Structure 1
Amino acid sequence: MFETLIQMLGLVACGVAWRILRPGKLSPEQVRHGLTESVYYLFLPALVLVVLWRTPIGLDSLRISLLSASGILLALLFSGLACRLCRMPPAVSGAIMLASAFPNATYLGLPVLQTTFGDWARSVAIQYDLFAATPLLFTVGILIAQHFGEGEAEAGFLRRLMRIPPLWAALLGSLLNLSGVPLGNSLEVVLNHLGNTVIPLMLVALGLSLQWHRFSRRQLGPLLVVSVIQLLLTPLLVWRLAIQLGLSGDLLTAVVLEAAMPSMVLGLVLCDRFRLDTTLYALAVTVTTLLSLLSLPFWFGLV
């Protein structure tokens, strides 16, 4: 596991180096935006479609979705209580809750699971994210951002979900799978070529997202809350729930690792839009990503 993370760290380091060296005429933010937009609208939907089209969908898919939703909702509960007890300002509370609850299930979880367990584990990361985490982010997550932030009200629930291309790919892939429609060889080759670009692009984009330049001591408390909940408490709770639901072996380990992923990069969008503490959230992504180099091998060995 640690060797796998070191290999992926090399791609993340490329993004960090780009942020520092700034080659070319584009800013790091523009490069990151271009990479994430291409992944979000083209490469990731292709990967999701081909994986879910040929992956058996059954009770395990339901269990993975239930565990993902349970972990996120419990993390929101505990982080909300921590913010209230510590009397955090609203903008800080919203950022802490989002950073504590929503894991980087696809951008980091997908490469970790695929490299550790093989291609079959890609479906675990995709189902954990698109069948629970992403819908919750664009519903409950937005409600939390609206409550603690200052932005305007968002469009309706269904309209928000309709704007998520990977989710449409997940629904289409699942429908074709359950309908027994065969996946043609030529189409599979094209989708695989597109999907194979997802992991390196996501890891480079993650490196471009990491930043330390605004760190201050007053942020240690909030960062500690996020790190403990995201990297320790949530995977522990999901592990116990997964055992109760009958998961075992590599599938159990894969689900627990998904729950132990660092904070989701996409949450920065909500922090920007609703005027939450974006600096704190960006630092939370950086800190939890670096700490996950230690926590993920810990959970892999423990489970």
Structure 2
Amino acid sequence: MFNVLLGMAVIIVVGIGWRLILGNDSAETIRSHLAKAVYQVFLPALVLHVLWQVPVDMNTVRVPLVSAISVLLSLLAAFLIYSSGHLVKGFMKVASPNKAVGALLLASAFGNFSYLGLPVLSQTFGEWSQKVAIQFDLLASTPILFTVGIMVARYYGSAAKGLHPALALLQVPALWAAVAGLALSITHAPMPIWLGNSLSILGAAVVPLMLLSVGMALRWQSGWLGRIPVLLPVILIQLTLMPLIAWGASIGVGMPEKLLAPAIIEGAMPTMVLGLVICDRFKLDTTLYAEAVTVTTVLSLLTLPLWLQVVL
């Protein structure tokens, strides 16, 4: 596991170095295009390829159910801690804590289940475990993000013009790929060799590009050390509480032993990178959210091996 994380850390560090060399503006432009390519092409190809070959059974329900319980209970825990605004006002100079509270709620509840979960699971347990990351994210976390998450962002930020959340959810390419993959699996449709090879080649690019994108998204802002007390609940929820919830929920739904460890490790992922886009759109505290991504991602390189030692 150490060698796996070390290899992934090297790619993330390359992304950080690339950002430092290019400068924030140029690096953010490149990262944005890179993320779009993964989001619109490479990830959907991987999702279709994996789910087409996975039998649809009770595990197709169990994994998303564990994900939904983990995300919603983590969001509830964050709400109980942050909703009053006292913690934000105590350590940050803000006239209104709402924008910071909204960012912190999203940072606490939605993990980097695909962008980091896919690489970690596939490199640790094998390619078969990719289905856990995909089901955990696309069949539960993503729908919750584009419904409950958007409602939270609108409430604490500003209502952005655009599609209704339900319609925005329908524009997620990987979600359509998941639906198609499940349908093809249910109907036992054979996968043409040429298509399988093409999807495999496209899907192989997901892991390195995701890790590179994560590295380019990490950034430090002046005064970050003083905001650590505000970020501490996010750290504890994402890296400790959520995997514990995932563990308990997995046992509760009767998760097979083979899938138990991957499901728990999925719950131990750091704050998702995609939340930066939502914070920008709804005028939440993007700087604070970016710090949550950075701190939890760096610490996850230490906590993930610990969780693996516990669950294996």
TM-score by length of 2: 0.94
Partner of 1:163: 171
Provide, for residues 24-61 of structure 1, a one-character-per-residue CA deviation record: whole Å limited to 9, x for no partner. Answer: xx810111011101111111111000100001121011
Q: Is 1:78 the equivalent of 2:77?
A: yes
Q: Is 1:110 the equivalent of 2:109?
A: no
Partners of 2:85 and 2:101 within 8 A in 1: no
Partners of 1:215 and 1:283 within 8 A in 2: no
Q: Matched residues in 1 for 2:84 and 2:167: separation?
A: 35
Q: CA RMSD in A?
A: 1.5
Q: Is 1:3 the equivalent of 2:3?
A: yes
Partners of 1:52 and 1:173 within 8 A in 2: yes
Flag the 1:93–1:35 CA change in 2: closer, same or farther, 3 A. same
Flag the 1:104–1:190 CA change in 2: closer, same or farther, 3 A. same
Partners of 2:64 and 2:139 within 8 A in 1: yes
Task: Give SS of 1:27's match.
Answer: helix
**1:220 Cα deviation after fit:** 1.1
Provide, for residues 273-293 of structure 1, a one-character-per-residue CA deviation record: whole Å limited to 9, x for no partner. Answer: 111110010000000001001
1:114-125 equivalences under 5 Å are 114-125=122-133
Q: Is 1:19 the equivalent of 2:19?
A: yes
Partners of 2:150 and 2:165 within 8 A in 1: no
Partner of 2:53: 54
Partners of 1:14 and 1:204 within 8 A in 2: yes
Partner of 1:187: 195
Partners of 2:51 and 2:181 within 8 A in 1: yes
Task: Give SS of 2:159's match.
Answer: coil
Opposite residue 31 of structure 2, the aligned amino acid is R
Q: Matched residues in 2 for 1:168 and 1:245: separation?
A: 26
Task: Give SS of 2:115's match.
Answer: coil
Q: Matched residues in 1 for 2:175 and 2:252: separation?
A: 28
Partners of 2:246 and 2:264 within 8 A in 1: yes
Opposite residue 280 of structure 2, the aligned amino acid is D
Q: Is 1:145 the equivalent of 2:153?
A: yes
**1:123 Cα deviation after fit:** 0.5
**1:216 Cα deviation after fit:** 2.8
Partner of 2:143: 135
Partners of 2:239 and 2:270 within 8 A in 1: yes
Partner of 1:268: 276
Q: Is 1:32 the equivalent of 2:39?
A: no
TM-score by length of 1: 0.96
**1:299 Cα deviation after fit:** 1.0
Q: Is 1:90 the equivalent of 2:110?
A: no
Structure 1 stretches of at least 4 aligned residues deviating more than 4 Å after TM superposition: none
Flag the 1:218–1:150 CA change in 2: closer, same or farther, 3 A. farther
**1:156 Cα deviation after fit:** 2.2
**1:138 Cα deviation after fit:** 0.7
Task: Give SS of 1:182's match.
Answer: coil
**1:153 Cα deviation after fit:** 5.2
Partners of 1:146 and 1:153 within 8 A in 2: no
Q: Which runs of 5+ in 1 are unaligned?
A: none
Task: Give SS of 1:276's match.
Answer: coil
**1:152 Cα deviation after fit:** 2.5
Which range moves more in the overlay, 243-252 or 43-52?
Answer: 243-252
Flag the 1:72–1:153 CA change in 2: closer, same or farther, 3 A. farther
Partners of 2:85 and 2:98 within 8 A in 1: no
Partners of 2:103 and 2:288 within 8 A in 1: yes
Opposite residue 2 of structure 2, the aligned amino acid is F
Partner of 1:202: 210
What is the aligned counterpart of 1:281 among 256, 269, 289?
A: 289
Q: Matched residues in 1 for 2:212 and 2:121: separation?
A: 17
Opposite residue 244 of structure 2, the aligned amino acid is L
Q: Matched residues in 1 for 2:225 and 2:211: separation?
A: 28
Partners of 1:146 and 1:152 within 8 A in 2: yes
